[in-house]
Amino acid sequence: MTTAKPAVEFPEPTKPRPSQLFPGLVSRIVIALCLVAIVIVRTLPTFDGVPSPWNDMALANILTLVFGFVAAVALVIWFCFLSNYPPLLRRIVLAGIPAMIGLFFLFFRFVGVNGEMIPIYEPRWQPVADTVIGKIEAKASAPAADLATTTPDDFPQFLGPERNCWLPQPELARDWAANPPRELWRRTIGAGWSAFTAVNGFAVTMEQRGPEEWVACYEVATGNPVWGHSIEARHENPLGGIGPRSTPTIHEGRVYALGATGMLRCLDGKTGAPLWQVNLRERYFGETPEVDEQLVQWGRAASPLVVDDLVVVPAGGLVGQAKSLIAFKAKSGELVWEGGADQISYSSPAVATTAGVRQILIVNEASASGHDPQTGTLLWSHPWPGNSTQNASSSQAVPVDESRVLLTKGYGVGAELLEFKPLAGGGLEKTSVWTNPQVLETKFTNVSIIDGHIFGLSNGYLECVELATGRKTWKRSRKASYGHGQILGVGDLILVQAEDGRLVLVEANPREHIERGSIQVLTDKTWNNLCLYGRKLLVRNAREAACYELP
- Please state, rounded to an integer, the average pLDDT across all residues of the chain: 92
Alpha-carbon distance 20 to 83, whole Å?
8
Mean per-residue pLDDT for 401-422? 95
Per-residue confidence band for 15, with pLDDT thresholds at 50, 70 and 90: low
Give 34's contacts (C-beta < 8 A, 6+ positions apart). 67, 68, 70, 71, 74
CA-based Rg of the chain, rounded to a whole angstrom?
Answer: 28
Give 468's contacts (C-beta < 8 A, 6+ positions apart). 452
Ramachandran area for residue 403 (φ above 0: left; ψ -120 to 50: alpha; else beta): alpha
Mean per-residue pLDDT for 172-187? 96
Does 287 score more than 90 pLDDT? no
What number does CATH give the domain 157-193+442-551? 2.40.128.630
Mutual angle of helices 57-77 and 87-107, in 10-degree steps? 140
pTM of the model: 0.93
Under 8 Å between Cβ of 432 and 417: yes
pLDDT at 21: 47
Does 5 score more than 60 pLDDT? no
Under 8 Å between Cβ of 317 and 340: no
Distances (CA, A) of 154 to 170, 224, 449: 12, 19, 20
CA 109, 110, 111, 114 dihedral sign is positive
CA 11, 17, 20, 25 dihedral sign is positive
| 3-state DSSP assignment of residue 249 | strand
Does 185 score more than 70 pLDDT? yes
Alpha-carbon distance 522 to 482, whole Å?
14
Distance, CA of 166 to chain centre: 19
Whether omega before 156 lies within 30 degrees of 0, making that bond cis, reads: no
Per-residue confidence band for 47, with pLDDT thresholds at 50, 70 and 90: confident
Alpha-carbon distance 283 to 91, whole Å?
59
Task: Indicate the domain borders of the chain.
Answer: 18-123, 157-193+442-551
- The pair phi, psi for residue 209, each rounded to 5°, is -130, 95
Mean per-residue pLDDT for 496-502? 97
Q: Degrees (nearest 5) of the Cα angle 21, 23, 26?
A: 105
First vs last C-alpha separation in the chain: 117
Does 492 score more than 60 pLDDT? yes
Distance, CA of 319 to chain centre: 25
In this structure, the strands spanning 414-422 and 202-209 are: unpaired
Under 8 Å between Cβ of 298 and 246: no
Under 8 Å between Cβ of 313 and 305: yes
Under 8 Å between Cβ of 501 and 526: yes
Alpha-carbon distance 412 to 255, whole Å?
36
Alpha-carbon distance 359 to 336, whole Å?
16
pLDDT at 384: 97
Please name the amino acid found at residue 290: E
Mean per-residue pLDDT for 412-433? 92
Helix (H) or strand (E) holding 443: none
Give 120's contacts (C-beta < 8 A, 6+ positions apart). 110, 111, 112, 113, 114, 525
* Residue 111, burial from CB neighbour count under 10 angstroms (0-12, 13-18, 19+): middle
Per-residue confidence band for 22, with pLDDT thresholds at 50, 70 and 90: low
Under 8 Å between Cβ of 304 and 311: yes
Distance, CA of 374 to chain centre: 31
What does the DSSP assignment read for 262-325? Answer: SEEEEEETTT--EEEEEEHHHHHHTT-THHHHHHSTT---PPPEEETTEEEEEEE-STTT-EEE
pLDDT at 359: 97
Does 414 score more than 60 pLDDT? yes
Helix (H) or strand (E) holding 27: helix 18-43
Alpha-carbon distance 327 to 337, whole Å?
5
Tell me the pLDDT tens digit for each residue of 229-247: 999 999 999 889 999 999 9
Three-state SS string over 67-105 comes to: HHHHHHHHHHHHHHHHCCCCHHHHHHHHHHHHHHHHHHH
